[in-house]
């Protein structure tokens, strides 16, 4: 999966630079077009001429060394790359990327590229465990960077522990496997709903729920990373998409979400309704703020239209997935919803379980398909959960096509 791919290998300054030479050779042998970009400190460990000979391409070091006066080098290389691998990735370069610092050619190029970025850390065991380094890596993971874990063993500093750059063969293998996985939804159109809805009472009051939209946003971004053309219909949230390859439609009310989901449904191949839509809305909406009065205030509610059921009734080729947030008899309620609304699969959350409620960054759930084949999705980040769900959807769609 790296054959004929344009791969930029970013090499930062550490003793593990010598392994980057072998990595350049392995990538070239696998059929990739490789260009190497080094920091000035990396060039103190291994000569740029070595990488030039192995990659058969010029090596980039200095931001202001423009090899072609018609192009801005770091932008040109950033646009050229399909894949970026940073190996070795020192604590310094990881910190720069996480902080948005662009003070040399490599860090500047990394800010400019839209390619998939793989980070292979290499550093002292205590540096790797430092809270600042951990926080920086977590931030990059949230932004969609992919980490290739370092190995454990004898380090150049004399310590024994985790921090040794992964072997070049394994780095190539990880990238190949991930690239293969990243194309599983190529050619598919995916529609996702996310977040809560708001049902107005008067100009200053509304009914809503605790949904933040994090799960739906994670699903939309993961689907895009898997090669799909994605439309996200979002209720009111404070979230922003980390990439611009998702079409976002913002709505407020359950009725607006109903209209948007039905509008984009027919053109979609996979539809995932992760939004927490209001089941009821005030029957009367006041045009002026209701003043405080003596005694109680009763608000009559009416049902909103059931988005998921309406989609299940008209679906043809679409693979339709719902979510069920329950607190009791979760599997029974989930199974009933799956069958009643003619879904192909449902993701069931017991929101009373620690780590599975609204608002957090983690989730735990059960994926149940229409054949009642269930898969437990253990506690993980919502980004990881989204990838697992989409992988299961891809599996079930392949089984249907047989």
pLDDT (0 to 100) of residue 336:
95
pLDDT (0 to 100) of residue 396:
96
CA distance 116 to 62: 23
CA distance 129 to 123: 10
- Span 24-65, pLDDT tens digits: 999 999 999 999 999 999 999 999 999 999 999 999 999 988
**Candidate list 1, 112, 157, 351, residue with the active-site label:** 157
pLDDT (0 to 100) of residue 153:
61
Q: How confident is the model at residue 309 (pLDDT cuts 50, 70, 90)?
A: very high
- Going from the C-alpha of 9 to that of each of 13, 36, 114, the distances in angstroms are 13, 5, 15
- Span 91-146, pLDDT tens digits: 999 999 999 999 999 999 999 998 989 999 999 889 999 999 999 999 998 888 99
352 vs 239 pLDDT, higher one: 239
What secondary structure letter does DSSP report for 150?
P
Q: What domains appear along the chain, each with residue ranges and CATH number?
A: 6-181 (3.40.50.1950), 189-401 (3.40.50.10300)
What secondary structure letter does DSSP report for 235?
-
> How many Å from the N-terminal Cα to the C-terminal Cα in the chain?
25
Q: What angle do CA 190, 361, 225 make, to 5 degrees?
A: 30
**Is residue 21 annotated as a catalytic residue, yes or no?**
no
Whether the predicted pLDDT of 229 surpasses 90? yes
Q: Which two tokens stand for residue 117?
A: 């970025």
- Span 241-280, pLDDT tens digits: 876 789 999 999 999 999 999 999 999 999 999 999 999 9
Mean pLDDT of 370-399: 92
- Span 75-106, pLDDT tens digits: 999 999 999 999 999 999 999 999 999 999 99
């Amino acid at each position: 999966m790296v054959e004929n791919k344009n791969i930029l290998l970013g090499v930062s300054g550490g003793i593990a630079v010598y392994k980057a030479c072998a990595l350049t050779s392995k990538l070239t042998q696998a059929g990739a077009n490789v260009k190497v970009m080094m920091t000035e400190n990396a060039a103190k460990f291994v000569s740029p001429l070595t990488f030039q000979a192995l990659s058969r391409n010029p090596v980039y070091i200095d931001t202001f060394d423009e090899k072609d006066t018609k192009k801005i080098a770091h932008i040109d290389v950033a646009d050229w790359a399909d894949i970026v691998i940073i190996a070795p990735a020192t604590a310094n370069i990881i910190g720069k990327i996480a902080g948005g610092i662009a003070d040399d050619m490599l860090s500047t190029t990394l800010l400019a590229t839209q390619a998939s970025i793989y980070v292979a850390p290499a550093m002292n065991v205590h540096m790797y465990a430092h809270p600042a380094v951990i926080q920086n890596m977590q931030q990059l993971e949230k932004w969609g960077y992919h980490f290739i874990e370092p190995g454990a063993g004898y380090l150049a500093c004399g310590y024994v522990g985790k921090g040794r750059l992964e072997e070049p063969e394994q780095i190539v293998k990880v990238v190949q496997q991930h690239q293969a996985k990243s194309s599983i939804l190529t050619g598919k159109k995916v529609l996702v709903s996310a977040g809560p809805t708001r049902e107005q009472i008067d100009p200053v009051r509304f009914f809503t729920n605790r949904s933040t939209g994090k799960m739906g946003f994670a699903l939309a971004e993961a689907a895009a990373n898997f090669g799909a053309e994605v439309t996200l219909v979002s209720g009111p949230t404070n979230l922003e998409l980390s990439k611009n390859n998702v079409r976002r439609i913002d709505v407020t009310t359950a009725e607006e979400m109903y209209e948007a989901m039905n509008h984009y449904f027919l053109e979609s191949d996979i539809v995932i309704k992760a939004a927490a839509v209001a089941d009821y809305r005030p029957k009367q909406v006041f045009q002026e703020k209701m003043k405080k009065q003596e005694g109680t205030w009763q608000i009559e509610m009416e049902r909103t239209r059931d988005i998921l059921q309406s989609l299940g009734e008209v679906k043809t080729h679409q693979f339709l997935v719902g979510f069920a947030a329950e607190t009791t008899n979760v599997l029974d309620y989930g199974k009933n919803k799956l069958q009643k609304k003619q879904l192909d699969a449902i993701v069931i959350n017991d929101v009373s379980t620690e780590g599975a409620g609204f608002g957090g960054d983690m989730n735990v759930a059960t994926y149940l398909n229409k054949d009642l084949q269930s898969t437990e999705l253990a506690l993980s980040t919502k980004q990881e959960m989204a990838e697992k769900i989409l992988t299961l959807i891809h599996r079930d769609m392949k089984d249907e096509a047989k």
